[in-house]
């Protein structure tokens, strides 16, 4: 009986110790295993970005133009080096930003998080890091699979702009549920939750500016790159407020200005199709076609197949004219190669 009591006590102690040592990363893994796709309430991004801006004189709201003093010198240097290129990206990146705005809003996230993909990959669909992260959101294989993306010898959803942005939104939502601060979320996105948790323990603070020097240099600078990129892209450095009501308005506006997922047909195609020829045959503006199918020609050439996204009526036109579209596409490609 005594042996039984001793053994039981040991098992209880071991169980308590194991529970006490559960890490933030284990909690994240549990969260990311969830398949819940319910649209969440849109947070006020000024709460999430509370450490980015200073409070005004009254102390009851945030200035949208005044950066935290600890960020100013880094932002100034970053603007000198990259301001011109980022300014150009405002124009050529619009199709990508439009897609991300809609998807992030659908997940109840501040649309400003799209700038994370700018510093991750410069919006390059086929960006590959030294560590093996791939795509516009730079997912490692394991994280990508946890977020529901396919990564194998035949398919890599990390290079699909739509699918990878949905996956990034899920991952960012999970991280925000842990930290409640977007600057810490961005640090964790880059360096992993383990490094952020360690910095919190060592500094005794959950304020990025207090714990920043306990983070790896790359993660610390990643957050500051995001701040600088956001400041440059937004013009006055302000966060666009997306409260619950305004987030709903954003979704309604997006539905009015763009084709919503329910109005869009998707067809996996293979062959030497060309975006200009498809747009011409389906009587569609090439800008709108590119918005739905960013980087279409390069993606098709690299993978051999691609998910073509078109409004339902345009998809019918495509299917009715597939042979002619393919023939004209090949002719155009031959003409371009002969130049």
Catalytic residues: 120
Query: Is the distance from CB of 216 to CB of 191 less than 8 angstroms?
Result: yes
DSSP states along 35-72? ---PPPPPP-HHHHTTTTEEE-TTSSSEEEEEE-HHHH
Q: What is each CA distance from 114 to 45, 172, 202, 316, in whole angstroms?
A: 13, 11, 30, 32
For 128, residues 6+ apart whose C-beta sits below 8 A from its C-beta are: 134
Q: Distance between CA atoms of 140 and 145, rounded to whole angstroms?
A: 9
For 273, residues 6+ apart whose C-beta sits below 8 A from its C-beta are: 300, 308, 325, 326, 329
Q: Distance between CA atoms of 201 and 313, rounded to whole angstroms?
A: 56
Q: Distance between CA atoms of 41 and 69, rounded to whole angstroms?
A: 31
Q: Distance between CA atoms of 155 and 163, rounded to whole angstroms?
A: 12
For 15, residues 6+ apart whose C-beta sits below 8 A from its C-beta are: none
What DSSP character marks residue 214? G
Map residue 144 onto helix, strand or coil.
helix
Alpha-carbon dihedral sign for residues 224, 227, 230, 232: negative
Torsion of CA 175, 162, 292, 337, to 10 degrees: 130
Query: Is the distance from CB of 173 to CB of 108 less than 8 angstroms?
Result: yes
> Please, what is the Cα angle at 141 between 136 and 142, to 5 degrees?
125
């Amino acid at each position: 009986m005594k042996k039984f009591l001793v053994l039981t006590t040991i098992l209880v102690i071991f169980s308590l110790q194991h529970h006490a040592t559960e890490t933030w990363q284990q909690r994240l893994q549990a969260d990311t295993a969830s398949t819940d796709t319910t649209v969440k309430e849109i947070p006020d991004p000024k709460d999430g970005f509370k450490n980015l801006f200073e409070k005004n004189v009254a102390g009851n709201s945030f200035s949208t133009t005044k950066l935290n003093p600890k960020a100013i010198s880094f932002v100034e240097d970053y603007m000198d080096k990259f301001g011109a290129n980022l300014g150009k990206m405002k124009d050529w990146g619009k199709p990508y930003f439009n897609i991300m705005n809609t998807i992030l809003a659908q997940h109840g996230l501040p649309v400003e998080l799209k700038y994370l993909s700018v510093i991750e990959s410069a919006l390059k669909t086929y960006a590959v890091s030294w560590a093996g992260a791939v795509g516009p959101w730079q997912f490692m294989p394991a994280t990508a699979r946890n977020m529901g993306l396919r990564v194998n010898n035949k398919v890599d959803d990390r290079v699909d702009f739509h699918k990878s942005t949905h996956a990034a939104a899920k991952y960012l939502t999970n991280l925000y549920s842990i930290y409640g601060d977007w600057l810490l979320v961005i640090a964790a996105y880059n360096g992993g939750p383990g490094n952020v948790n360690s910095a919190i323990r060592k500094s005794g603070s959950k304020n990025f500016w207090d714990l920043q020097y306990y983070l790896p240099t790359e993660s610390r600078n990643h957050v500051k790159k995001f701040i600088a990129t956001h400041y440059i892209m937004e013009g006055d450095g302000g966060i666009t407020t997306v409260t619950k009501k305004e987030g709903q308005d954003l979704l309604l506006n997006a539905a009015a200005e763009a084709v919503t997922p329910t109005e869009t047909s998707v067809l996996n195609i293979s062959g030497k199709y060309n975006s200009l020829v498809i747009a011409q045959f389906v009587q569609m503006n090439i800008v709108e076609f590119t918005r739905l199918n960013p980087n279409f020609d390069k993606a098709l050439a690299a993978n051999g197949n691609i998910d073509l996204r078109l409004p339902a009526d345009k998809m019918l036109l495509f299917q009715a004219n597939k042979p002619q579209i393919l023939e004209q596409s090949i002719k155009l490609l031959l003409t371009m190669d002969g130049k």
